[in-house]
Each structure stands twice: as C-alpha cells, then as structure tokens.
Chain A
C-alpha cells in the first residue's frame, strides 16, 4: 500500500523558472515530512523538512508548502538552476524516531538552459 503519492514522475523546467513537485499522504499519523535530493550514483541527501504545525518552510531557493487538511505537501524550487537537475523524493514518518520513513516514488527534474 503506497502511503505517499508523488507527482509528477518527471519534470522539465527552464533555467530561472519555478519547479513544483507535489506529494499527498494518507496516514494522518505522519508528523515529519522531509524532501531528499538524489544525484546519479549518490545516496539521497536531506534537502529540507517540515512538521505539520507550520504551513510553509523556506531555505534559500527551496520552499515546502504544507496543507494539513488536504494531506498534501509540495516542494517549490525558485530560480531553478541546471545544478538542481536530480531526482527528488518526498517522504513521511510518524511518531518521529520510532517509525520508518515512507518515500514517494520520486520525480526526475531536468533544468534546461
């Protein structure tokens, strides 16, 4: 049973544009939502994370928007750069520290000049 649905599967954005990746979850017990960035040949790297008590978190060009009532959260990459080209995974975990991370299926982002 997939508990975190991620879309789109792939995304092409022009340099300087905004990249938006969406995730939806089912388990209302989830209380921590990280995003990971993975480059080819590397392990996923923690990018940014949010708890459900806030609706938005921003770190540099990366912003998470969180809608608790809709059970959705999204990653926005502002001023997208070619170096942002990677696969992005959303994830969720409940009972922070005592449960496993559940990952979305990933979005392959390509930034074109």
Chain B
C-alpha cells in the first residue's frame, strides 16, 4: 500500500498571503488529521476530518481551516499568513482516528 502523501513538500510564502496544503491518505483510510510541528511547541493538533466532516478541532485560530473530499483526500488552508506560521505541517491518516500514519510533511516558511 502506498503511504500518506503530502504536497507540496516545501513552500515559501510572505506574510499576509494564504496557502493550501494537500494530503492523500492511505487507501481505505477515512480519517485525516493535521498537525503543526515547531521546535518550540512540538506536535500540535489542528483538526481531524472523517467522512468529509470535521470531527475534532484543536486550539488554532480561524485562519486555519480544512476540508475533506469524498475520496478522503484532504486540504488545509491558512489565510493571512504570519511569521509564526512557519512550521512543518503533518498529515496523518487512519481508518477511524486511532492508529495514525503520518506523511512526510510540508515545510512552510513565511517571510
């Protein structure tokens, strides 16, 4: 089985711009979770989608949003980028939210 894929792998944006990241889960997995990883804050949960519905949400501002499509692929969007949004954004897929498998991440740099 192919693993979780994330695109793009690297992204450079400037403050105020918006960005969309994409995640393709493992075939058959219906849950997709997104995490932000930074050296200072570690792995922080953003949100989880299951069958196209947001099932769980972390403590991030409304600038962070996501969605899931009928084929379980997911996107997350960050609007009005801030310098502090620079991070590795990780997507994880699972059949039902438990045992999660991570993708390689998208490294976002905000200048």
The answer to whether A101 touches B45, judged by C-beta atoms less than 8 angstroms apart, is yes
With a cutoff of 8 Å between Cβ atoms, the chain A residues found around residue B92 in the complex are 43, 101
The answer to whether B96 touches A46, judged by C-beta atoms less than 8 angstroms apart, is no
The answer to whether B102 touches A45, judged by C-beta atoms less than 8 angstroms apart, is yes
A interface, by DSSP: helix, strand, loop or mixed? loop
Given A97-B98, A100-B33, A103-B43, do A43 and B103 touch, yes or no (CB 8 Å)? Answer: yes
- Interface residues of chain B, those whose CB is within 8 Å of chain A, are 4, 31, 33, 42-43, 45, 48, 55-56, 58, 90, 92, 94, 96-105
Interface residues on A, range: 20 to 34
With a cutoff of 8 Å between Cβ atoms, the chain A residues found around residue B58 in the complex are 100
The answer to whether B48 touches A44, judged by C-beta atoms less than 8 angstroms apart, is no
Given A43-B4, A44-B90, do A99 and B105 touch, yes or no (CB 8 Å)? Answer: no
Q: Which residue of B lies closest to A103 (CB)?
A: B43
Q: How far is the CB of B48 from chain A (nearest CB, A)?
A: 6
The answer to whether A46 touches B99, judged by C-beta atoms less than 8 angstroms apart, is yes
CA of A35 to CA of B41, assembled, Å: 18
Question: Can you identify 19 A-B contacts, CB atoms within 8 angstroms?
Answer: A32-B99, A34-B100, A41-B104, A42-B105, A43-B102, A43-B103, A43-B104, A45-B102, A46-B99, A46-B101, A93-B97, A97-B94, A98-B55, A100-B48, A100-B97, A101-B45, A103-B43, A105-B42, A106-B42
